[in-house]
Structure 1
Amino acid sequence: MREVRPKNKGLNVTRYKVFAGACLTQFIVIGFLFSYGVFFSAFETEFGWSRTLLSSCSALAFFVMGVLAIIAGRLSDRYGPRLVLGFTGLMYGLGFVLMSQITQQWQLLMIFVVFIGLGMGTHDVVTLSTVARWFPKGRGSITGLVKLGTAAGQMILPPIAAFLILSYGWRRSLVILGLLAALSLLAAALLMSRPENEKQTAAQAKLATASFQYAKRSLTFKKLCLIQFLFFPTLMTIPTHIAVYGMDMGMTGARAALLLTVIGAASMAGRLATGYFQDRLGSQAAYSACFIPILISLNALYLWDNHTALLVFMALYGFGHGGFFSVVSPTVAEYFGMQSHGALFGIILFFGTIGGAIGPILAGMVFDYSGNYDSAFITLAVLMALGLILVLTLPKTQAAAA
């Protein structure tokens, strides 16, 4: 398929509508997922549920996201991003409304598996693949800009959720958040569209794009899948547990929610910086810029427990956290082109969700057994170190060689 470079004002307007829709989708889906951690204390107080259970919910939704990501790109190609994102966005918002009525553990688990997981399944692979087709130049930078929506959601929505809980209680807060999510995601979906003409000549396909089957068999693709698997336990565990970890250290609920805000704010810088590194220096440098600060922050979490220091470490973590989400999609395009971008990106995301589903559950089990997160932080640091070693074996891209 030929990548579209808009040649008139109408197409330029359309692609910036697509950009806005992608940003809003990222803002709502991930911002609300981060906000879930703010509800942990309310669930613990009212139901006495363990953190293993509570963290398992987001982990299961994340796993469902990975499974759906494999087919989400193809569904978008067939039916268009507007229809796919509109349906899954409504289901995502409905999930939060239904969560306000839970009384049993199985109800919470079912909501995350069916509704939250469905909403998460399309937010990355559909939006980023669509944007990559509308903006063929500087994919790393444009992906970083789109993922600023995620960072803004992480920064803004958890404190709002904490305020709503204090003002209206957790049940009414979930209804408010669910309705906001459904309406916002539907509006975002209406802004999305795919280029009218995506045909690519045989010569262009041969020179610029690897086939799906060839890419799947390549060593580079296998490395990218493994890197995703090693990175994602940390990406899911820290946002899920850090707010309640802060409260364990004596922070108020509002101050603990600020940890998520700091992560979101710092991740903005990370997304922009790694997008630049991706376009100018290549995938290896961009990945390294994500792994190294997170490795430092994980070791610091184990060694220090000062409130101010925790905020600083979360800023460092947030830089790497945000940057990683700006690297993967343009890396797939850099190595394998756009012909099978959605399908390949979806498979890589699936491997990430396996690791991401395991991480929060094990961290919750570690806390329930030992009363602290020390072993969890050490394990995550080891996984990140292994991932960094693997990153250094990736082949140089054209951007790096330029």
Structure 2
Amino acid sequence: EPYGYLPDGRSSEDPKTQVQVQPEEKEITFREALRKRSFLLLNVIETIRMTTTIAVVTHVMPYLGSLGISRTMAGLVAGAISVCSIIGRFGFGWAGDIFEKRLVMAGAFVFLGAGMLAFCYVSSPWILILFLLLFPAGFGGGMVLRGAILREYFGRQSFGKLIGITLGFAAIGEAVAPALAAWTYDTVGTYDPVWLALSGAVGIAIILILRLK
């Protein structure tokens, strides 16, 4: 059909059979993408997201245990994080197909940051529920929008290389986060400083997302 060949003798003049020609997408070479400020910002943003996520996921049970919450409840919360992230993956992924992806990603990080603040001040089961409504949705939404924004900003030509670099930067955060949280607790006897620092980092990430062009 893209070449004008149609079945059953139909004419290409028939409006029912005319092919919609999509405009050519702008492609950016790998070297051009590396020089783009937006690519650097995306790497920083993703590193913050993964550092925050891995720190929480790794230490959620010992943290809740330090607050006097039972291991059974802490285990349920740990398992619920992944399950609840499905809501964010579908919800923010759907929104990203309709609205500007940059703004949708900023919304996902607002959820992530608000969830971190709730996590900092867990004092009742209701705060844990609030955490599970916000934090997993935020990190799940950021996960699906990461690739979508890379594709939108830089095209498909070098997508594999670019996302590989982005995931490499994120892996640095994943490696550092558990040790950083553990060191903080061992040093000062509480997780609060690292949770507050990560909440602030998420706030910085929101500003960086809004500066993407």
TM range (shorter): 0.7 to 0.9
Aligned to 2:123: 305
Q: Deviations over 1:17-41 (max 9, x none)?
A: xxxxxxxxxxxxxxxxxxxxxxxxx
Cα RMSD for the two superposed structures: 1.7
Aligned to 2:140: 322
Which letter maps to 2:155?
A: G
**Quick one: distance in 2 between partners of 1:218 and 1:337?**
13
Q: Deviations over 1:295-354 (max 9, x none)?
A: 112222223322342233133111101111111111111111111111100101111122
Q: Spell out the pairing of 1:121-200 with structure 2 (5 A cutoff).
A: none
TM-score, normalised with respect to structure 1: 0.45
Aligned to 2:157: 339
**Quick one: distance in 1 between partners of 2:34 and 2:54?**
26
TM-score, normalised with respect to structure 2: 0.83
Greater RCO, CA 8 A, separation 6+: 2
**Residue of 33, 36, 44 corresponding to 1:226:** 44
Structure 1 unaligned segments of length 5 or more: list them: 1-202, 396-402
Would you say the 8 A contact 1:262–1:315 is kept in 2?
A: no
Which letter maps to 2:209?
A: V
**Quick one: distance in 2 between partners of 1:277 and 1:218?**
26
Would you say the 8 A contact 2:102–2:149 is kept in 1?
A: no
Task: Pick the structure with greater CA Rg.
Answer: 2
Establish whether residue 214 from structure 1 lines up as the match of residue 57 from structure 2.
Answer: no
Q: Deviations over 1:73-123 (max 9, x none)?
A: xxxxxxxxxxxxxxxxxxxxxxxxxxxxxxxxxxxxxxxxxxxxxxxxxxx
Would you say the 8 A contact 1:295–1:381 is kept in 2?
A: yes
Establish whether residue 376 from structure 1 lines up as the match of residue 188 from structure 2.
Answer: no
Aligned to 1:282: 100
Q: Shift of the alpha carbon at 1:247? A: 2.1
Would you say the 8 A contact 2:29–2:157 is kept in 1?
A: yes
Would you say the 8 A contact 2:92–2:145 is kept in 1?
A: yes
Structure 2 unaligned segments of length 5 or more: list them: 1-22
Q: Shift of the alpha carbon at 1:282? A: 2.3
Q: Shift of the alpha carbon at 1:223? A: 1.3
Q: Shift of the alpha carbon at 1:239? A: 0.5
**Quick one: distance in 2 between partners of 1:386 and 1:272?**
25
Which letter maps to 1:385?
A: G
User: How many residue pairs get matched?
Assistant: 191
Q: Which runs of 4+ in 1 moved over 6 A?
A: none
**Quick one: distance in 2 between partners of 1:296 and 1:223?**
21
**Quick one: distance in 2 between partners of 1:257 and 1:304?**
15
**Quick one: distance in 2 between partners of 1:389 and 1:309?**
26
Establish whether residue 386 from structure 1 lines up as the match of residue 204 from structure 2.
Answer: yes
Moved more, 295-304 or 386-395: 295-304
**2:157 counterpart SS class:** coil
